[in-house]
Structure 1
Amino acid sequence: MSHGKQFTLYTHKRGPNGWKVAIVLEELGLTYESIYFDFKQGEHKASEHTNYNPNGRIPTIIDHANADYVLWESDAILYYLVEHYDPLHRVSVSEAGDKFHQLQWLFFQSSGQGPYFGQAAWFIRYHHEQLPSAQERYKAEIRRVLGVLESVLEKQQWLVGGIVTIADLAFVPWNDIAIPAFVDFDFAAEFPATAAWHDRLHARPSVKKIVETRAAVNAA
């Protein structure tokens, strides 16, 4: 089977973790084909996907230029991409100490931002009954995560090494969902440094392109 693009990206039209990977692929100028699973049809749990990703969740990548190397878990994918395809460190750091801080922020995004923001979405939008206590818990977690970011970004423009990296870009898609939908306070007033950082990230061509692509595929 021939592949016109270097990467296959198994993803979802709305799932933020897949868009995170797409942003970094764009940043690095890597070619990819996105395959959007229909979650209602259970396509992500079908063997065509679980043969690659036993967790049956998105995203999953196949790197056809590297012997069809398969990887899942979004922040592991981001780390793989910069380790293999960012020799000029356009969106990654080079110094050993900074690399651990970059990894630290990726872990915080995957363990702190993603799950809590996702639970907020679930209990506010999708749960079969309204549970105000659960909703308030996860809204409070959104505020806590933003507070952690604010405590760092009020002192510096970017999270690691004085440059934009995958550590920053990893936060964009979940913030895009949570800030307009679940933040019931003045985001820019309460977290001004984080709001300015979010705006700087959105000014990047890669993020602009993915925001437009996401809107287009969801409108189709």
Structure 2
Amino acid sequence: MLEVYSWPTPNGHKVHIMLEEIGLPYRAVPVDIGRGAQFEPAFLRISPNNKIPALIDPDGPEGKPISLFESGAILLYLAGKTGRLLPDSVQGRYEVLQWLMFQVGGVGPMLGQAHHFRMYAPEKIPYAIDRYTQEAQRLYHVIDKRLAQSRYVGGPEYSIADIAIWPWLRSWKNQGVNLSDYPHLKGWFDELDHRPAVKRGLAVLADLRRPQLDDRAREALFGQQQLQQR
């Protein structure tokens, strides 16, 4: 059985949704990032960047166990393992992969910064708030424009590109975005929101998440503890 070490965040949700879509049996192991569990030696052995999610597959390539960190790499691995949610054709595959990289290099980091400076930073810095809010709006526009031309982000079929991007857009209000300004994106967003596997993926570990950050969580997520664990 697969083991996914995770927490109910956008990057965790990506892998939870993927596992629900492909139907492989798995066990979700909570890593409470607000309490510093990501710094425990056992977790660092499979995720040296101290970030969730991480995956262990006891039946990996050639029947040997494999562990993986980075959500994008995990999505690719699971797609390859099952032959699902990634096109077989070379052109179709790279069309999906470019949008997966768009999420990994743009959507995740930039929307994460928008969340941080708008919601969590102890000091409200107008330049940072404006910078990342505008970048969030720009990224939404890119996705909306794409979805005006294509049913799904990666092409005509639902794929790991959609799974990677969608969870990051659930907090659009916190990112300074009005979803109704992006009608093509909103239609796609609502469609995925109703997928049974997406609903099941969002429910994974959801009862463990705390609604607000306390001082301990802020230190674990944003403080010097990050540096001390190197």
Q: Do Structure 1 and Structure 2 share a fold, with TM-score over 0.5?
A: yes
CA contact (8 A) 1:93 1:161 kept: no
Deviation at 1:136, TM superposition (A): 1.2
Work out whether 1:183 is the aligned partner of 2:179: no
Letter in 2 for 1:32: Y
Partner of 1:10: 5
Task: Give the % identical residues.
Answer: 33
**Partners in 1 of 2:206 and 2:170 — Cα distance?**
12
Conserved? CA contact 1:75–1:170, under 8 Å: yes
Secondary structure, aligned partner of 1:180:
coil
Distance (whole Å) between structure 2 residues aligned to residue 145 and residue 131 of structure 1? 21
SS at match of 1:8: strand
CA distance in 1 between partners of 2:10 and 2:155 (Å): 25
After superposition, the Cα gap between the structure-2 partners of 1:212 and 1:70, relative to the gap in structure 1 and judged at 3 Å, is closer
Give how far 1:212 is off.
3.5
Match for residue 147 of structure 1 among 141, 147, 150:
141
The 2-side partners of 1:143 and 1:40 are apart by: 28
Say which SS state the counterpart of residue 61 (structure 1) adopts.
strand
Task: Answer yes or no: is 1:210 the counterpart of 2:205.
Answer: no
Alpha-carbon separation, structure 1, partners of 2:23 and 2:98: 25
TM-score calculated relative to the size of structure 1: 0.89
Aligned to 1:3: none
1:54 to 26, 36, 48: 48
Query: Cα distance, 1:214 vs. partner?
Result: 5.4
Q: Determine the structure 1 residue equivalent to 2:18.
A: 24
CA change 1:130–1:219 in 2 (3 A) is: closer
Contact 2:52 2:69 in 1 (8 A): yes
Q: Distance in 2 between matches of 1:165 and 1:47?
A: 34
Q: Which amino acid aligns with 1:95?
A: S
Q: How far has the Cα of 1:219 moved from its partner?
A: 6.7
CA contact (8 A) 2:108 2:168 kept: yes
Letter in 2 for 1:204: R
Number of residues of Structure 1 aligned to a counterpart in Structure 2: 208
Matches within 5 A, 1:97-136: 97-136=91-130
Q: Which sits farther off after the overlay, 18-27 or 126-135? A: 126-135
User: Is structure 2 residue 190 aligned with structure 1 residue 193?
Assistant: no
Deviation at 1:218, TM superposition (A): 2.9
Superposed CA RMSD in Å reads 1.7
Q: Whole-Å Cα distance in 2 between the matches of residues 58 and 200 of structure 1?
A: 27
